Structure 1
Amino acid sequence: MTRTPTPLPPTLATDQVIAVVRAPHIPDAAALCAALAEGGVRHVEFTFTTPDVTSHIGRAASQGFEVGVGTVLRASQAEQAAAAGARFLVTPGCRPQVAEAAHRLGLPVVLGALTPTEVADAVDLGAAAVKIFPAAAFGPGYLRDLHGPYPGIPLVASGGINAANAAAYLNHGALAVCAGTEVVPPDAIAAGDWTELTRRARAFTTALAHSRHP
């Protein structure tokens, strides 16, 4: 039996970019989100690989930013993220206990997958979208191929995405792409160089806009 998914924030389908923040030190999560938003990236995924991540989520969410949390492996982490104010959850692979917790908490979950079987499993578990990871190992055409048997499944491309190739994934059917260190390098975050993050976010979204098919 397929579980009905909780929908993702509708703005994601418009913006089509999630900045994935992996950094050992974040001096001000709200300022980080504000800098990215100024550059056109309004959706930010903090991760459980970051120390004290729930505090960062709470600070950003309290300022009204659309933040989620990734690398969610256990139901307890989903519960912590929800309590902190996360608006969506992301996993690196199919995690049934996370999907169950997300359903119970009323949060959308983007479940990680790679193979066609894993995509089907993620859909049955109630994924709002399926994260294809590592996307760059297979290329944009792989998403087009997946949409053959799964034409209505929202796919998010993650892993090895940059300004030069992001549009190709969107043009081959991705709902959104995940932007990593090209947009949010850990050293710039640690330094609180928000101007640099805005510049990087704007460069990424500008390249995306110029490369998209009409």
Structure 2
Amino acid sequence: MAVISPVTGLDVAQPHLAAELGASQSTLLWIINGPGHRPARRDGHHRVLCGRLANRHVDRRGHHGGPVRRTLAGVRYRYEITQAVVRQGIIAIIRTADASSAVQAAAPLLDAGIMSLELPLTNPGALEAIRQLRADHPAAVIGAGSVLDEASAVAAVRAGAQFLVAPNLNVPVIQAGHRYGAPVLPGAGSVSEVVQALEAGADAVKVFPAPTPQWVRDVLAVLPYAPLVPTGGVAPADVPAWLEAGAVACGVGSALARTPIDEIKSLLRGA
């Protein structure tokens, strides 16, 4: 059953997000056209992701965050956020049933040094968890996953999500994320879908479900500029093999919670 936002008129795929979009029209206009809002700079985002610059330190000279996205200190532009998302080579995916359990699951991973977390919107409390984690861990990069439509993308960015991930390619999600300076990692399961995602402006492409490291090598042989993020069934111990094959990072889920902290620390690229 469709759930229509009273503000945007958009169908919200996850019904629990409808309330998040129940702001006044004036509030929404401020979010869209807020003071000082500037379009994110697009130059060089593929160059940043193609390996050579993946480990560079984030520039700390930057400016104050815009009216919508509360960014990392010194990080304003989309390519800088993308660089921060993939720098360690692991994006931790926190799948739980509510906000408190998500925060509880994320805390030890953040304490272990993981800096990039994704909270799927399949969790009804994901947006609240994003708000809390952004407040409690300002140095981390916190994103929203399972972002299926434009309305969900807007709600996630409003909650503080710094990047958006989807299992599929939905161009309006990319457009909404970019409108507010948030990188978007849409999903792809074939070479054709990877190309379509890149043509649509993807900052990186979530390869879902993850095939094999050799598949990544083969794709990069014909698309050497494709920033691939294998996700789904990737075990922490397998991450080095994926990175060696050319992936810019891997999305790793529940297996992280069962992995000893010392082992996690050893897997972090640049740690």
Q: Which TM class, normalised by the smaller chain length? A: 0.7 to 0.9
Which amino acid in the other structure matches residue 253 of structure 2?
G
Shift, 1:68, TM fit: 0.1
Shift, 1:110, TM fit: 0.5
User: In proportion to residue count, which structure has more strand?
Assistant: 1
Which amino acid in the other structure matches residue 162 of structure 1?
A
Alignment of 1:174-213 (within 5 A): 174-184=247-257, 200-206=260-266, 208=267
From 162, 165, 169, the counterpart of 2:242 = 169
Give unpaired runs (5+ residues) of structure 1: 186-198
Instruction: Give, in whole Å, the separation in 1 of the partners of 2:265 and 2:199.
Output: 32
Instruction: Give, in whole Å, the separation in 1 of the partners of 2:141 and 2:195.
Output: 27
Shift, 1:168, TM fit: 0.9
Structure 2 CA distance for partners of 1:92 and 1:110, relative to 1, 3 Å: same
Structure 1 counterpart of 2:204:
129
Which one has more relative contact order, counting CA pairs under 8 Å at least 6 apart? 1
Alignment of 1:13-162 (within 5 A): 13-27=86-100, 29-30=102-103, 32-63=105-136, 64=138, 65-135=140-210, 138-162=211-235
Moved over 4 A (4+): 28-32
Shift, 1:153, TM fit: 1.6
Which TM-score applies when normalising by structure 1?
Answer: 0.82
Shift, 1:39, TM fit: 1.4
State the Cα deviation string for residues 18-57 of structure 1 (Å, max 9, x = none): 1101111342655544421221211110011112211111
Instruction: Indicate the structure (1 or 2) with the bigger Cα radius of gyration.
Output: 2
Deviates more, 1:31-40 or 1:11-20: 31-40
SS in 2 for 1:44: strand
State the Cα deviation string for residues 63-121 of structure 1 (Å, max 9, x = none): 21310000000100100010011100001011111011112121100111011110111
Structure 2 CA distance for partners of 1:184 and 1:95, relative to 1, 3 Å: farther
CA RMSD after TM alignment: 2.1
Identity of aligned residues (%): 33
Shift, 1:203, TM fit: 2.0
SS in 2 for 1:184: helix
Give unpaired runs (5+ residues) of structure 2: 1-40, 46-77
Which amino acid in the other structure matches residue 68 of structure 1?
G
Deviates more, 1:23-32 or 1:48-57: 23-32
SS in 1 for 2:218: helix
Which amino acid in the other structure matches residue 122 of structure 2?
T
